[in-house]
Chain A
Amino acid sequence: MSEQVLPLLEAHDVTVRFGGLVAVDGVSANFVPGELVGIIGPNGAGKTTFFNAISGVQVPTAGRLIAHGHNLTGRGPHRFAAHGVARTFQTPRVFPDMPVAANIEFGLKFAGKRRRKYLFWGDEVGVPWALRDAASILSLIGLSAQAELPAAAITPSQQRLLEIGMALATRPKLLLLDEVAAGLTESEIEEMARLIRRLRDELDLTVIWIEHAVTTLLRHVERVIVLHQGRKIADDTPHNVVRNPEVIEAYLGDEMAEPSAEEEEVAA
């Protein structure tokens, strides 16, 4: 039986205004199942605000958000979570006093639960095997050893992994990752990127990834959206985006003036 490929999430002309400041200015984008999309842009471009809008944390001033055909504009974050949108926060927001395993179980018990369908002998249908319980999620992100520690006691980079784990516990279809590689070394960023690709491949997800480590991101994603001062200025493959004159100008030639040899090679 074939399914009509409905976009997972459609953002139509999303605008977010704070008083006089326009943080997101009429951004439209559709996301289909299985994509690995990167969002980049200079500081203040509105990337996190856009995330806030498409996860329900921020009600947009204008525009529409449709998930799987359901209009979710103006609904709260728990409705978005129920429709399979999960996100991480730039600074990890874990529940500090609860043990790591309990942090994961939280998502499993709420949004994660709603999306389960049982066959009559108690097995879950439609949920990836790797997300079946807290223990398997912990081993997926590599935090099994820390399961009983209070979340406040683990290192910040471990907390970042926990953030991802908590988001995965909601059994999402769309995973929003906000600068999960901030402050990591080159090799760590590479590892993170590979983890993200694995998650997308094994768990049947769509991943949208905001990142400042632009070179690494460009190596791993298939599609890049560039935001600048709240507007979308590019939405294309990495290969084309690095050659886009508007994008180059926005970054003032910092990282992207000359496409490096490896970018050429990967994007080709």
Chain B
Amino acid sequence: MTSRQFLIRDLLVLLAFTGWTLALPFYASEFVVSMALTCLMYVALSSSWGLFCGSTRYLSLATSAFFGIGAYTTAILLGQFSWVETIAIGAGMAVVVAVVMGAAVLHLRGTYFAVLTFGMTELIMHAVTYFEKTVTGTVGRVLTVVPERDTIYLTVLALAVLAVAVSIVVRRTRFGLALMGIGADEQRAQTLGVNTRLVKIAGFALTAGFAGAVGAAMAVRWTYIDPHTVFNPFIGFQTVLITLIGGVLTLWGPLLAAIIFSVLAESLRLQFPQIYLMSLGLLLILCVLYLPGGLASLRGETFKGWWNDSRDWTKDLRRELSGEKEREKQRLKRREKESHFV
């Protein structure tokens, strides 16, 4: 398929997805719609996370920070500003924080970066907690102005579709190529003319904006928010997990994984919440070890490869157990000794 054909295919799938999720509230039960809402939230979060962190391989754990910032924006400003304005401001605040954070931190790689973003998330949470306690004298906030369920649903749907659409578009632009170059070999990309600092900050700000917008929208689902709920690092962890399992470099992987996990989460949540989390953990380990490209990279060859690998492994094991390995070693040793006498 040519690049144009891929584009058309992607857009068609996106359109179908949009149409289907749009129609959902009209015929599905309350439970299903609620599940779809969580699913759409994670679609938005993972797609935007994968956009930056997937291609550049800078693993950001700061999603919760931006989510929380958006949530607090809503808690404070909704009522004075309209719904759309509040979401936009939430996204904007997250972007500002991301630019500051990024400028300070994006020159570090790998584990340093991941640990730092985590630290900054916790920092922001504690800062907000402290500020609330001492300056405003509150522990959490109650949301008084709450829009209709359908409005929330539509907003999150729009954000999810936008996140996927932006991913589709960015991949085809110079910006997307720059991101991939940074992930492949950052210094090389620099010598070829990429202003990596700017590109990284822009990418980071993009993910932050989405996370902030999603946070701002979802805040109204909880009528009472406090720092521990909205800055919960688990939101960030789950985003990362879903994107990694789905396939961090792919377009549809995160979406697929988000759907699977939302279904799993909702069905297991009431009786076996821990089993859901355990399976997440186990799946992540298995994916990193055996399927680094994620679920979306599963192909016929992958299964063949696994089959061959396991066959080789059992063959090797059998040889070792039957003592043949030992015998071969002895044979080689004898041959070596003989060659010394030549």
Contact = CB atoms under 8 A, between A and B. Distances in A.
Interface in B36-66: none
Given A55-B191, A166-B192, A76 B197 contact: yes
Contacts of A95: 180-181, 184-185, 188
Interface string A69-95: 000000011101110001101000111
B177 A106 contact: yes
A129 B197 CA distance: 32
A159 interface: no
Chain B, interface size: which category? 10 to 19
A224 interface: no
Nearest to A115: B193
A243 interface: no
B303 to A, nearest CB: 22
B187 A57 contact: yes
A78 B185 contact: no
Chain A, interface size: which category? 20 to 34
A81 B187 contact: no
Given A76-B197, A78-B196, A97-B184, A109 B191 contact: no
B314 interface: no
Contact of B191 (A81, A94, A96): A81
Contacts of A169: 192
B174 interface: yes
Contacts of A86: 191
B194 interface: yes
Interface in A76-131: 76-78, 80-82, 86-87, 89, 93-98, 106-107, 109-114
B151 interface: no
A206 interface: no
A170 interface: yes
B178 interface: yes
Contacts of A98: 180, 184
Interface in B192-212: 192-197
Contacts of B177: 106, 109
Contact of B193 (A78, A89, A93, A94): A78
A56 B188 CA distance: 12
Contacts of A166: 192
B190 interface: yes
A80 B192 CA distance: 9
A37 B110 CA distance: 39
A110 B194 contact: yes
A110 B192 contact: yes
B192 to A, nearest CB: 5
B192 A170 contact: yes
Contacts of B189: 106, 110
A35 to B, nearest CB: 21
Most-contacted residue by chain B among A55, A86, A93, A114 (CB, 10 A): A93
A98 B195 CA distance: 20
Nearest to A88: B191
A107 B193 contact: yes
A106 B181 contact: yes
A157 B188 CA distance: 19
B181 A87 contact: no
Given A106-B181, A109-B177, A78 B194 contact: yes
A149 B138 CA distance: 61
A208 to B, nearest CB: 15
Nearest to B194: A110
Contacts of A89: 188
Given A109-B174, A110-B174, A78 B181 contact: no
Most-contacted residue by chain A among B177, B178, B191 (CB, 10 A): B191
Contact of B190 (A77, A96, A97, A112): A77
B184 A107 contact: no
A96 B184 CA distance: 8
Contacts of B181: 95, 106
B188 A93 contact: yes
A114 B197 CA distance: 18
A97 to B, nearest CB: 7
Contacts of A107: 192-193
A55 B177 CA distance: 22
Interface string A169-188: 11000000000000000000
B190 A78 contact: yes
Most-contacted residue by chain B among A82, A94, A95 (CB, 10 A): A95
Contacts of A114: 193
Interface in A178-203: none
Closest 3 CB pairs of A and B: A111-B193, A110-B193, A77-B190
24 contacts: A55-B191, A57-B190, A76-B190, A77-B190, A78-B190, A78-B196, A80-B191, A81-B191, A86-B191, A93-B187, A94-B188, A95-B180, A95-B181, A97-B184, A98-B180, A107-B192, A107-B193, A110-B174, A110-B189, A110-B193, A111-B192, A112-B193, A170-B192, A170-B193
Given A78-B191, A82-B193, A110-B193, 15 more contacts: A56-B191, A57-B187, A77-B191, A78-B190, A78-B193, A78-B194, A78-B195, A81-B193, A93-B185, A93-B188, A97-B184, A106-B192, A109-B174, A110-B189, A111-B192
